[in-house]
A and B are shown apart, each in its own frame.
Chain A
């Protein structure tokens, strides 16, 4: 449960939506956060403010606004876009998607494609397991003392990017998201002493 991929769906058609939900529920780590119909006002803002990892879009549900919406979404580097692809989907539309779920594919292929789209990067398949590394423990010690990422970076002569990567991995490995939760973990496991944090 530690590493999750947050998915949003834009699909007005109930039958298709249920199918997508069924697929998503079969892959551990994928969480369906919210479903939009495609006709909502300010759909772009509604989608992006939630910081989705993946958005599955049916071009038919968005209608005339599709090109406008997809162009803006393509400018968001952290969001992966998956398109539903009808057999007769025009090239100028389906070429917008790096990942596609074809209407006529069978379940096995759809699951593979979904897994590939959601997990080819850091979060799912390479989900780091096992105990914290020495470096991660060093970072954890500083984080639970209340230091910001930048302060930790300065103190340990690391880039802020490295610190953030360590923090992400710590959270994934431990399944603990908040600083105060990490502090309890660190105290429980004698990684730090109570006198260091008070």
Chain B
């Protein structure tokens, strides 16, 4: 389904509940009423084209937002990605960590194993944080600077030659190892979590919940990198071309 501005947002969410974290990132809280996407965007000062691009990218793996790319500034994308990062680091990951430590507390005979899992997940988090930090400290400032230079392109003195030395393509390639660790975490739990005492029901419940959260995190990170690959990278590539032609 292609999501368009004339659709009612409530029905779109009914159709695909995976979009809930997305609307949340656009500061649209639940209870938003019966309006169309267009109306709600107008009320809340959300860029309609950008919102639709993100909704569609999340909703449909086949979607490719090329027609929309020119209609919103890169700073909006970055703002969105930044919010998503904050959500992963401040909410999702701590939530998973607390589940692991709960498992540790509940475990009667396997504390050693849970300790190992917990360390493994902490290592994953450190790597993930590094990855995020690189984007936030290196890549995003570059994009914002590039956009600023383009906005002021009539003012030749603003053209910063250093910007020519960087390219968005060079950075978007190191997702892999982080993803693999998350995959391994799931394998370890699915296949090798040692059984607890049969009446340790809460342990069982928490371990299911933990596994579910890992799947959700994995899926969300996948959508996240799709947004980077399909929206941010092509957008910035277009900007890079335009910037080069100004010299």
Q: Contact: A178 with B184, CB < 8 Å?
A: yes
Closest A residue by C-beta to B193 = A188
* B188 and A181 contact, CB distance less than 8 A: yes
Nearest CB of chain B from residue A20's CB, rounded to whole Å: 12
B185 interface hit (Cβ, 8 Å):
yes
| A185 in contact with B123 (CB, 8 Å) | no
Stretch from B113-121, B147-155, B212-220 at the A interface: B113-121
Among B62, B119, B123, B184, point to the contact of A176 (Cβ < 8 A).
B184
Given A174-B187, A175-B187, A176-B187, also A184-B180 (CB < 8 A): no
Contact of B192 with A by CB under 8 A: yes
B177 at the interface (CB under 8 A from A): yes
Q: Check A177–B180 contact: CB distance below 8 A.
A: yes
- The contact size tier of chain A is 10 to 19
Asked if B192 and A178 make an inter-chain contact with CB atoms under 8 angstroms apart, the answer reads no
Contact in complex: A184, B116 (CB < 8 Å): yes
Cβ-closest chain B residue relative to A182: B184
Would you call B177 and A185 a contact (CB within 8 A)? no
Encoded as 1 (CB less than 8 Å from any A CB) or 0, chain B from 169 to 203 comes to 00000000100110111011011101000000000
Chain B nearest CB from A6 CB (Å) reads 12
Residue of B nearest to A49 (CB): B173
B223 to chain A, nearest CB (A): 15
A171-198 Cβ-contact flags toward B at 8 Å (1 or 0): 0001111101100110111000000000
Per the bound structure, the CA–CA distance linking A157 and B123 in Å amounts to 32
Chain A residues with Cβ below 8 Å from B191 are: 174-175
Chain B: CB-nearest residue to A35: B62
B180 near A189 with CB under 8 A, answer no
Q: How far is the CB of A31 from chain B (nearest CB, A)?
A: 12
How distant is the Cα of A160 from the Cα of B184 in the complex, in angstroms? 25
Distance, CA A187 to CA B177, complexed state (A): 21
- A184–B181 contact, CB under 8 A? no
Q: Which residue of A lies closest to B120 (CB)?
A: A184
Complex Cα–Cα for A180 and B127 (A)? 12
Does A180 lie within 8 Å of B192, measured CB to CB?
no
Partner of A180, one of B120, B187, B194: B120
B120/A181 in contact, CB under 8 A: yes
Q: In the bound complex, what is the Cα–Cα distance between A181 and B120 (angstroms)?
A: 7
B123, B181, B187 — most chain A CB neighbours (10 Å): B187
Closest Cβ of chain B to A84, distance in Å, is: 19
The minimal Cβ–Cβ distance linking A36 to chain B, given in whole angstroms, is 11
Of A175, A178, A185, A187, the residue contacting B181 (CB under 8 A) is: A178
Q: Which residues of A are found within 8 Å of B185, using beta-carbon distances?
A: 181
1/0 contact trace for B51-70 toward A, CB 8 Å? 00000000000100000000
Expressed in whole angstroms, the minimum distance between the Cβ of B90 and any Cβ of chain A is 25
**Residues of chain B contacted by A185 (CB below 8 angstroms):** 188, 192
Is the CB–CB distance between B188 and A184 below 8 Å?
Answer: yes
Answer whether A188 and B183 are a contact pair too, CB < 8 Å, given A175-B191, A176-B188, A181-B120: no
A35 and B63 CA atoms in complex are apart in Å by: 11
- Please give the residue numbers on chain B whose beta carbons come within 8 Å of chain A beta carbons, in ascending order: 62, 113, 116-117, 119-120, 123, 177, 180-181, 183-185, 187-188, 190-192, 194
Q: A35-B62, A175-B190, A178-B184 provided; 17 other pairs, C-beta below 8 A? A: A175-B184, A175-B187, A176-B188, A177-B180, A178-B180, A178-B181, A180-B181, A181-B120, A181-B180, A181-B185, A184-B184, A184-B188, A185-B188, A187-B116, A188-B113, A188-B116, A188-B194
A interface list, Cβ under 8 A from B: 35, 174-178, 180-181, 184-185, 187-189
> Could you give 18 example pairs across A and B, Cβ below 8 Å?
A35-B62, A174-B191, A177-B183, A178-B184, A180-B120, A180-B123, A180-B181, A180-B184, A181-B120, A181-B180, A181-B184, A184-B116, A184-B117, A184-B188, A185-B188, A188-B192, A188-B194, A189-B192
Closest 8 CB pairs of A and B: A181-B184, A175-B187, A177-B180, A176-B184, A184-B120, A184-B116, A178-B180, A188-B113
